[in-house]
Amino acid sequence: MRVCVIGSGYVGLVTGLGLAELGHDVTCVDLDSRKVDAINDGRLPIFEAGLEDLLRSHTGGRFRATTDLAAAVSGSAITLICVGTPSRDDGGIDTSFVEAAAIEIGAVLGAGGRGHCVIVKSTVLPGTTDGPVTDLLEGASGKRAGIDFGVGANPEFLTEGQAVDDFLRPDRIVIGGDDLALAALRELYTGLADVPLVATNARTVEMIKYTSNAMLATAISFSNEIANLGAALGGIDTVDVMRGVHLSRYLTGAAAGAEPVRAGIAAFFEAGCGYGGSCLPKDVAALLARGREAGTPLRLLEAVAAVNADQPARLVELLERELGPLRGHRIAVLGLAFKPDTDDVRCSPAFPVLTSLLAAGADVVVHDPVVGAGALDELPAERPAYENDLTAAIKDATGIVIVTRWSVYADVPEILAGLGTSPVVVDGRRMLDPSALPRYAGIGR
Ligand code: NAD
C-alpha cells in the first residue's frame, strides 16, 4: 500500500519505517524541515534501538520524508496521523495538532478521488476520531465520511527503547472506525496476520489505549505505595515482597508443579522513582480531566497520579537520611532519560530530583549515557554540571542517585571499588546488589 504518515516523531518514524519493512511504500511528513532533511540524509532525529538499521535499509527505496503534506496524502491510499497530543495546563490534552492535520488532509481529500482512509494513531480521548476529526475532515473536504472517505483509529502501544520490535512483533493490533477504514487497516497489517486483532468502533479503541496506560500507571503507583510503607515500617525489603507476590499462579499462569513464568506485568510492580515519559503522565492526566468533565471523577486514578508526583522526593529523602543536610555535598545523578534505551526525557523523574537537590544546595553533577547536556535546559533555574564519563561523574561524589535503569550503572560498585571511595548510593531502580556497596540505600528498603 502507499502510506502517508503525518508527524515524524517517535511514533511516526517507527510506524513509517516499520510499515516500509512490512513491504509498504511510505512517505513520512513533518512540519520541521530540519527533521525531514536529517531523515532523508540517513540521520535519525531521535534515538531508538534498531531504528537506524531500518532507515538505512529503506531510505532511497520504499521510504522517504517530506514537508509537502498535500503531495504525500494525494499520492497515498491511507494517511496515518501521528502528531503529538501534549498536555494542556488543566491536564486535558491539546488536540490542536491533530485538528490542524485533519483540516490539511481534508483540503486534499476535497480535491481528490474517493476511498482514501484517514487513521488517527495519536493518542486521543474517546470521541475524538468520530467527533472533531471527522467533522473537520468533512468540513474541509466537502465530502462524507464513511462514504467518500474512511475514518478510523489505530492507537500505538509501542514502548520506547523497544519500539521497533514492538511494531514488527506486536502483542495486539487494535483498529476501529467505519467499514472503509477497517478494510484499509486490515490490508495495512496483512504482514502481521498472526497477531491478535481487536476490530471495533473508534471510541472503543481510543478507550483501550487509555485504559492500558491507566492500568500500568496504577500498577506502578501501587507498588511504590507498598514499598514506601515497607520502608517506613522497617525490616522489609520490597524486592522480596514483590517476588513473593509475583509467584502467585494468578500472575505466572503456571499449572501445579510447572515452572512459573514471570509475567510481563511484574516489571510494573517494581518500586522505583515513579512513572515518567511522554505517555503515562499525560494519558493519566487526560483521563482524569475527561472524567471530571463528564461528571465521573476517577478517584482511584487521582490517587495514582498523586502517589507518582511524590515519588521522586523519596530519593532525596533517602539521601538526606544518610547524609544529613545536602548543602555542600557533591551528588551524582545517574540517568536523565525516563527509562533506558531511549533519549526521551519528557516527564522524566530526573527533573524533580534535580530541582530538589539544587534547592537543597547540593553540588550536582549529571550523567546519562545517551541524553546530552542540552536536556538540562528544561530546568527552571540553576543548571547542574554535566559529565560524559561515568567514572568522572562519580569520582568525588559523597552521594549517588540512580534514576534510570541504564545497564552501564551496574558497573557503579566496581568503579567505586577501583576509585577507593564509598559514597552513599541511592538506588532508585533497585538494580544493584546492596552487598556490593559499602553504603547503600534502595527505594522500598
Ligand atoms: P513527537 O512529538 O515525537 O512527534 C510529533 C511530530 O509531529 C513532531 O515531529 C511534529 O513536528 C510533527 N507535527 C505536528 N503537527 C504536524 C502537522 N500538521 N504536519 C506534519 N507534522 C506535524 O510525538 P510522539 O512521541 O511521536 O507521539 C505522537 C502521538 O503518539 C501522541 O499522541 C502520543 O501520545 C502517542 N504515542 C506516543 C508513544 C511514545 O512512546 N512516544 C507511544 C504510543 C503513543
Residue-wise pLDDT for 311-322, tens only, equals 999 999 999 999
CB 31 near ligand 1, within 6 Å: yes
With 90 as the cut, is the pLDDT of residue 429 above it?
Answer: yes
Looking at residue 264, its pLDDT comes to 85
Q: Of all atoms in ligand 1, which is nearest to the CA of residue 13? A: 26
CA distances to 344, 348, 382, 438 from 377, in Å: 14, 14, 9, 34
CB 15 near ligand 1, within 6 Å: no
Residue whose CB lies within 8 A of the most ligand 1 atoms, among 11, 34, 79, for a mutation test: 11
| CA–CA distance, 368 with 355 (Å, rounded to integer) | 17
With 90 as the cut, is the pLDDT of residue 90 above it?
Answer: no
**Residues with catalytic function:** 279
Looking at residue 259, its pLDDT comes to 85
Kindly report, residue by residue over 159-199, the tens digit of the pLDDT.
888 999 999 999 999 999 999 999 999 999 999 999 999 99
Which one-letter amino acid corresponds to residue 108? Answer: V
Record the pTM.
Answer: 0.92
Kindly report, residue by residue over 41-67, the tens digit of the pLDDT.
999 998 888 999 999 999 999 999 999
With 90 as the cut, is the pLDDT of residue 255 above it?
Answer: no
Q: Which CATH number fits the domain 2-200, given the four candidates 3.40.50.300, 3.30.360.10, 3.50.30.30, 3.40.50.720?
A: 3.40.50.720
pLDDT band at residue 415, thresholds of 50, 70 and 90?
very high
Looking at residue 250, its pLDDT comes to 86
216-442 maps to CATH 3.40.50.720? yes
* Ligand 1 center–CA 13 separation, angstroms: 9
pLDDT band at residue 341, thresholds of 50, 70 and 90?
confident
What are the extents of the domains in the chain? Answer: 2-200, 216-442
* Ligand 1 center–CA 157 separation, angstroms: 13
* Residue-wise DSSP of 192-224: GTTS-EEEE-HHHHHHHHHHHHHHHHHHHHHHH
CB 167 near ligand 1, within 6 Å: no
Q: Of all atoms in ligand 1, which is nearest to the CA of residue 157? A: 43
Q: Of all atoms in ligand 1, which is nearest to the CA of residue 32? A: 11
Residue predicted with more confidence, 249 or 241: 241
Q: Of all atoms in ligand 1, which is nearest to the CA of residue 278? A: 41
Mean pLDDT computed over every residue of the chain: 95
CB 97 near ligand 1, within 6 Å: yes
- Residues forming beta bridges with residue 333, ordered by sequence position: 366, 401
Residue whose CB lies within 8 A of the most ligand 1 atoms, among 30, 79, 167, for a mutation test: 30
φ/ψ bin of 304: left (φ > 0), alpha (ψ from -120 to 50), beta (otherwise): alpha
* Residue-wise DSSP of 141-199: H-S-BTTTBEEEE------TTSHHHHHHS-S-EEEEESHHHHHHHHHHTGGGTTS-EEE
Q: Whose CA is nearest to atom 20 of ligand 1?
A: 30
DSSP summary character for residue 132: I
Cell numbers of 42, please?
Answer: 540517513
Cell numbers of 390, please?
Answer: 561515568
Q: Do domains 2-200 and 216-442 have the same CATH topology?
A: yes
* Ligand 1 center–CA 241 separation, angstroms: 38
Report, in angstroms and rounded to the nearest whole number, the Rg of the chain calculated over CA atoms: 24
